Amino acid sequence: MSRYLGGHRDHHPLGPRAVPQVRRRTNQAAARPPRPRPHPPRTPPVPSPAGSSVGRRGAGGLPTPALLDIGCGPGNSTAVLRRRWPHARITGIDNSPEMLTTARTEGEPAARYLLADARTYDPAPHHPDLIVSNATLQWLNAGPGHDGEPQGHLALLPAWTAALRPGGTLAVQVPGNFDAPSHTLLAGLRRSPRWHRLLGDDATRPGIHTPAQYLDTLTGAHCTADVWETTYSTLLEGPDPVLEWVKGTALRPVLSRLTDPADQAAFLAEYGALLREAYPAGPHGTVFPFRRVFAVAVRR
Ligand SMILES: C[S@@+](CC[C@H](N)C(=O)[O-])C[C@H]1O[C@@H](n2cnc3c(N)ncnc32)[C@H](O)[C@@H]1O
């Protein structure tokens, strides 16, 4: 079985259609080669406890397991869970009412959804067999009780694993590309005098930790854990494909602050030129490497 559960390709927040990719894997755990697919998923790959050496039992052996999807967004990851566990009691949690509306109507209508802030949400009353958080932890670094703490979202994980039934599984995936040119060039441009005047400081800068820090935290939280990273080298099509991709993620807060269309156009032109230089187009498209970090932990 593949370690990845895949996902919907058509409703993905990350943007443009991608074409086949190559994975480079640097592991801390024995890896099974992923099942070849004609196209990569547009939903970030959801970590599957079924593929982990510690998580093979996952929630799969139970007739109606209780599953939590923290940061469920439009329900793409929730739908992946439903396909894997058709009879599960699934609850999706997100702090965006718009995302939850889409999840209810298009993502996975049979799940239950809660509007909640994952930084303060207590999963214990659900007695979950499996908690999944896909492409969300990077946003959970600051908030009530956690502001300025060096641990960032690592501080949340012990409470999440403590909420699991014994033998239950936590599976998370975070993007690990914050040091990539797509992000550093954007940050540099924001700091330049013209744009800093309009945009101010970057108050919602997401961030993640090293694989070793996730492993250490989860092991210290009475779990057996697998942590690994994969860099997806994705081939993008079109004249400004990296710019189009980033429009669905890191550029969102920037564009929402630039209310004048002329400013938006000028910012996109400047940033687009920097991206074309950093990610030159080749004969088959533009290679866009994207690193992701995965962790699967089973409560002892
Ligand atoms: C990139 S989306 C991932 C959606 C989904 N898990 C997937 O794999 O497609 C990140 C989600 O985290 C949610 N989010 C961000 N901060 C949050 C918070 N503090 N509490 C709950 N959800 C949050 C966002 O609203 C968004 O829906």
**Of residues 166, 196, 183, 150, the one with CA closest to residue 250:** 183
**Is residue 291's pLDDT more than 60?**
yes
CA distance 76 to 173: 14
Nearest CA to ligand 1 atom 13: 71
Task: Tell me the percentage of the chain whose pLDDT exceeds 90.
Answer: 68
CA distance 228 to 295: 7
- Listed in sequence order, the residues at least 6 apart from 19 whose beta carbon sits closer than 8 Å to its beta carbon are 39, 40, 234, 235, 236, 237, 285
- Which range of 12-26, 201-215, 274-288 scores highest in mean pLDDT? It is 274-288
Q: Is the CB of 250 under 6 A from ligand 1?
A: no
Mean pLDDT of 207-227: 95
pLDDT in the model for residue 1: 28
Mean pLDDT of 34-61: 47
User: Which contiguous run of DSSP H or E holds residue 274?
Assistant: helix 261-278
pLDDT one-digit tens code per residue, 3-29: 333 333 322 222 222 222 333 333 333
CA distance 70 to 123: 9
**Is residue 77's pLDDT more than 70?**
yes
- Listed in sequence order, the residues at least 6 apart from 202 whose beta carbon sits closer than 8 Å to its beta carbon are 187, 190, 253
Mean pLDDT of 24-38: 35
Pocket test for ligand 1, best of 4, 95, 178 (most atoms within 8 A of CB): 95
**Is residue 64's pLDDT more than 90?**
no
The one-letter amino acid at 27: N
pLDDT in the model for residue 292: 94
Say if strands 281-282 and 112-115 run parallel, antiparallel, or are unpaired. Answer: unpaired
pLDDT in the model for residue 58: 52
Task: State the average pLDDT for the chain.
Answer: 81
CA of 136 to the centre of ligand 1 (A): 5
Pocket test for ligand 1, best of 136, 246, 251 (most atoms within 8 A of CB): 136
CB atoms within 10 A of CB 135: 23
pTM above 0.85, yes or no: no
pLDDT in the model for residue 48: 59
pLDDT in the model for residue 11: 25
**For the chain, which domains are there?**
18-176+204-232+291-299 (3.40.50.150)
**Is residue 207's pLDDT more than 70?**
yes
CA distance 167 to 57: 8
